[in-house]
A and B are shown apart, each in its own frame.
Chain A
Amino acid sequence: MHPFAYVAPSTVAEAVAVLNEHGDRARPMAGGTDLLVKARANVWELDAVVDIKNIPELMNLSIGNGGLSIGAGVPCYQVYDNSEVAAEYPGIVDGASIIGGIQVQSRAGLGGNLCNAAPSGDGICPLIVHSAVAKISGPSGDREVAVEDFATGPSRTVLGKGELLVSIEVPKPAANSGAAYTRFIPRNEMDIAVAGVGVFVQLDSSGKNFESARIALASVGPTPILASAAGDSLAGKPVNDETIAAAAALAKDAATPITDMRGTVEQRKQLVEVLTGRMIKQAVERARG
């Protein structure tokens, strides 16, 4: 591991300044559970690590009528231990509660999961289906990027030189909506998704018909995938096995996996279809309360 300096700024501006000075030889650190592994394996050679956990706005978790705001440094356990978040955003809790084991969840958060930009990031698909937006600060000001556009490839993001993820903003879900996320892993915890599926559904007031839906897929492409055609196929359709199966088949079509040590193309595509069906049903159940 290349020896690096530890910097712990207390404002966004200071953090941005350090990141801007070092370029890609500095990285912001939230939980560090990916960063320190990559630094130790010399995947990244860093001169500075910028601990963001002393910046108050990056540690903020708030929920209200305007939606949910998750600071970039908020660890997973604070997300799933929050009863309001659990009640209103169970799909996000689904993701936050399966990233690593309990030890990792004490440190790792959804902000870091997003910035690490692994195709398998379990925290990302739930955010995508909730139409969450990433708030970014940088040397030339602030900007917002839809979470589905945040990752640009494996370990690559839209963040430019000196830019820092500040928070993730999740809109308040409307009535009669529900979300769910699951992944397939060979073990029961402590594993990387072979395939993962997040679903958000908006039902009509009868609870019998879909008004709209968003479906996102993990580990079956270079980035998490928003499977628009699959989600759109449900709009205006009745909730039944047939419409759900059709959407699951479209999700399968949207998956572009590779064969590697974690699974084959065929296995992953099949898993996407199976998990999509299961998650639509679970999201519907949650929407119906």
Chain B
Amino acid sequence: MVATFEPKTDYKVVGTRPIRHDGYDKVTGRAIYGGDMKLPGLIWGVMVRSPHAHANIKSIDTSAAAAMEGVFAVITGADMPKAPSKLVDLGEGNINFKWASNKLMADDKVLYRGHPVAAIAATDRYVAEEAARKVVVEYEVLESVTNVVDALKPDAPIILPDMVGDDLGEDVTNTNMAAHVRHEFGDVEGAFASASHTIEREYNMQMVHQGYIEPHNATATWDEEDRIKIWTSTQGAFPARTQIAGILQVDVSRVKVTPTEIGGGFGGKIPVYLEPIAALLAKKSQRPVKMVMERTAVFETTGPTPGARMVIKLGADANGKLTVATSDIWFEAGANPGAFIGPAAMCIYAPYEIANTRIDGWDVLVNKPKVAPYRAPGSPQVAFAMESAVDELCEEAGWDSFKFRVDNASKEGTRRGDGVLFSKIGMQEVLEAVKECDHWNAPLGDAPEGKVRGRGIANGYWFNIGLKSSANLAVNTDGTVQLTEGSTDIGGSRTSMAMHVAEVLGIGAHDVRPTVGDTESVGYTDVTGGSRTTYATGYACWLAANNLVDVLKDRVAVLWDIKPDDVDFNDGAFTSKAEAAKSIGFKELAGKLDDLGGPATSTGTVDLESAGDGFGTHIADIEIDLATGKSDIIRYTALQDVGTAIHPAYVEGQLQGGAVQGIGWALNEEYYMQDDGKMANSSFLDYRMPTTLDLPFIDTVLVEVPNPLHPYGVRGVGETPICPPVAAIANAIKDAIGTRLYNTPMNAGSILEALK
């Protein structure tokens, strides 16, 4: 589907800030999240997990656990259906059922610490946990690899012996390299030869986690008809159904997924972890089974986003024109393939117009959890490399790095690193907004004695996705409208959906009652991810509302005994083209529907190929204690082209939340791995996400360059904001202390080291 729209400005509902429909339930504790599920006769499931990062399973003895009072079912890898190797698109990354199944329950080999080796269902969680401790597993511990350099050494232990790697189209075996891709345009060698300034640098990032506060969970029943019902906190009920059915080897129609309220995901709740296991335990115990993951396992076995090694080389001519860029990036995939090198290639050069580019990306297995999407997966990593390198190039050449960003900014027609040509984009408009904004024009201020300050700036980009969405509408006789839509709501999207409908129908946002549908109440809808929800599901809602107007025109035609084509609809009122005085409002008409043919309903579905690109620029001010290396972010502004902000408060919230996740990534967050492949800091205490005391207010500037691909000009906004912060902070640290840091986290220890 491709249509283009002219921007409007005279909205009545779009651009306002109504209270979200689900808000009352969420501030009173009534909202039901996955972990809150209760069913008659519910029992608890827990996993038995590997203490080793890489080991062969010699034997498993579950007899003592099974014999415990209160234990109803025990399963191991032997109980898993054998899923074939089949690649399926989940919207933000692919999965292969074979690997996805093996990730949930080890077969004869564990590939990462915490890899499940058995699962138990019992009367309650405490009994199940006690039983889990009675499972005896004999392991043959293997050498583990936890970074890309070690994993690609000739003598590295091979994590998946039956994996066939793809090296630029050639099959490779006996390797940890799952894929090697390349995009090359122009004359890279020639451009470097004629460049007057070049730099080449290496940057490294540790793996980090999405850090949602709600642990993964799943509740399952399996009935006599082999119908499986799942309640879970997921970013997409339908993609969850696809995975569950694929792993359990049943038809999708056998699985009903009801999405509960969800406590954060950021991409990490697109893959399933517990759902198929809960279903198998339910089948074996013939009882409803609930599982809630413990926090250590959330860190050790879910998420994270790839750690990366990146080598980047830039060249510019004497006039400050960026003429050439090359990069080699190695991303950690975890124990199964799929490290987001594709998105990285799409994003790395996007903020710039560069005639000659090459990127080589490697997807590398390591003995860590399989990576999951995390807010613009792959983009923050390459933004750290690119935006640091741009500053370094400018330092070497003596150029103003902001002017350089403006002079080389991408625009309509610019070719992205993977070859795609941009349509209407807002990079230049965002940089113009930087020039105007308070923060950029305010002095940094004097640091207290013993401290120094610095300011950094960086761009970020995410391409956003479209894909499939569905929405249903039904008119109530009191003039309100029921909306059932397929996108799970993580951050207030239900209200944005309702606002799309209300704007079309000329009614209030609260006259539309939105519900997130289960897989049996609405058409297929892709994940809440890829910054697609307000764009694509909003589009489906807009279509459904327009379709509803057509249905209602027929009813008005009956009422007035005229032809449907002679009925107009404007600002919430139906009028007769022939008789200008004849008019009936939406609400009044709703009250008459019972006499005009009964219920009025409609549907909107979309399958959108593209979505409109998202660009942002962040400004970070940092203060550093020279004696301890302690840093504090003292001022922060996020600017972004948001297309049209449907609900500006939640758009601001996306910018603020993404910025703060990026700040955490920059300063303290990391997977700190021990030599034995154990993550040493698998708790919120030691993983160190920012608390409210670690931050200033996060200022936002919403730049609105309406997206011609959406009826109201919406652009996805959720992911772009996590792309600039790491580089902005690296550039600020350099400004403050005069030394550049090349590795994350840029914590107090590394700053202290740099100060020597």
A residues in contact (CB < 8 Å) with B: 1-3, 41-42, 184, 186-192, 194, 260-264, 267, 270-271, 274-275
Contact = CB atoms under 8 A, between A and B. Distances in A.
Interface stretch (B18-26, B146-154, B484-492, B679-687): B679-687
B729 to A, nearest CB: 14
A261 B680 contact: yes
Contacts of A3: 126, 130
B203 to A, nearest CB: 21
A188 B628 contact: no
A42 B693 contact: no
B129 interface: yes
Contact of A261 (B632, B681, B691, B752): B681
B691 A192 contact: no
A191 B688 contact: yes
A15 B681 CA distance: 35
Nearest to A264: B749
Given A2-B130, A191-B685, A263 B749 contact: yes
B355 interface: no
Q: Chain B CB within 10 Å — which of A186, A189, A263, A275 has the most?
A: A186
Interface in B103-152: 126, 129-130, 133
B479 interface: no
Interface in B362-409: none
B174 interface: no
B693 A187 contact: yes
Contact of B688 (A41, A187, A263): A187
B49 to A, nearest CB: 13
B686 A42 contact: no
A102 to B, nearest CB: 11
B693 A271 contact: no
Given A2-B130, A263-B749, A267-B749, A186 B667 contact: yes
Contacts of B688: 186-187, 191
Contacts of B691: 187-190
B628 A274 contact: yes
B339 to A, nearest CB: 24
Given A186-B668, A260-B680, 4 more contacts: A184-B630, A186-B688, A187-B688, A187-B690
B672 interface: yes
A267 B681 CA distance: 19
B583 to A, nearest CB: 59
A42 B46 CA distance: 15
A44 B500 CA distance: 55
8 contacts: A1-B126, A186-B630, A186-B667, A187-B694, A261-B686, A264-B749, A274-B627, A275-B628
Nearest to B626: A274
A186 B748 contact: yes
Nearest to A101: B691
B747 interface: yes
A184 B685 CA distance: 15
Interface in B474-522: none
Contacts, number: 54
Contacts of B685: 190-192
Given A186-B668, A187-B688, A271-B628, A1 B129 contact: yes
A270 B681 contact: no
A264 to B, nearest CB: 6
A187 B629 CA distance: 12
B62 to A, nearest CB: 19
B668 A262 contact: no
B694 A184 contact: no
Given A1-B129, A42-B133, A188 B672 contact: no
A186 B130 contact: no
Contacts of B667: 186
Given A3-B126, A261-B672, A261-B681, A188 B133 contact: no
B690 A184 contact: no
B686 A262 contact: yes
Nearest to B747: A186
Q: Chain A CB within 10 Å — which of B133, B632, B688, B753 has the most?
A: B688
Q: Chain B CB within 10 Å — which of A264, A267, A275 has the most?
A: A267
Contacts of B753: 267
Contacts of B133: 42
B752 to A, nearest CB: 6
B755 to A, nearest CB: 10
Contact of A184 (B129, B130, B628): B628
Interface string B675-708: 0000011000110101101100000000000000
A192 B126 CA distance: 29
A260 B681 CA distance: 10
Contacts of B130: 1-3
A263 B632 CA distance: 18
Contacts of B296: 41
Contacts of B686: 192, 261-262
Contacts of A191: 685, 688
B628 A189 contact: no
Contacts of B693: 187-189
Nearest to B687: A261
B679 to A, nearest CB: 9
A187 B680 contact: no
Contacts of A188: 632, 691, 693-694
B752 A270 contact: yes
Contacts of B749: 263-264, 267
A191 B752 CA distance: 19
A270 B667 CA distance: 20
A259 to B, nearest CB: 10
Interface in B621-658: 627-630, 632
B235 to A, nearest CB: 28
Contacts of A271: 628
Contacts of B126: 1, 3
Contacts of A42: 133
Nearest to A275: B628
Nearest to B668: A186
A42 B129 CA distance: 10
A76 B129 CA distance: 33
Interface string B157-197: 00000000000000000000000000000000000000000
A271 B129 CA distance: 41
Contacts of A184: 628, 630, 748
A3 B690 CA distance: 34
Contacts of B629: 267
Q: Chain A CB within 10 Å — which of B133, B628, B630, B694 has the most?
A: B628
B291 to A, nearest CB: 17
B285 to A, nearest CB: 21
A187 B130 CA distance: 35
Contacts of B628: 184, 271, 274-275
Contacts of A274: 627-628
A186 B751 CA distance: 11
A2 B752 CA distance: 43
B245 to A, nearest CB: 35
A261 B674 CA distance: 9
A228 B672 CA distance: 34
A137 to B, nearest CB: 32
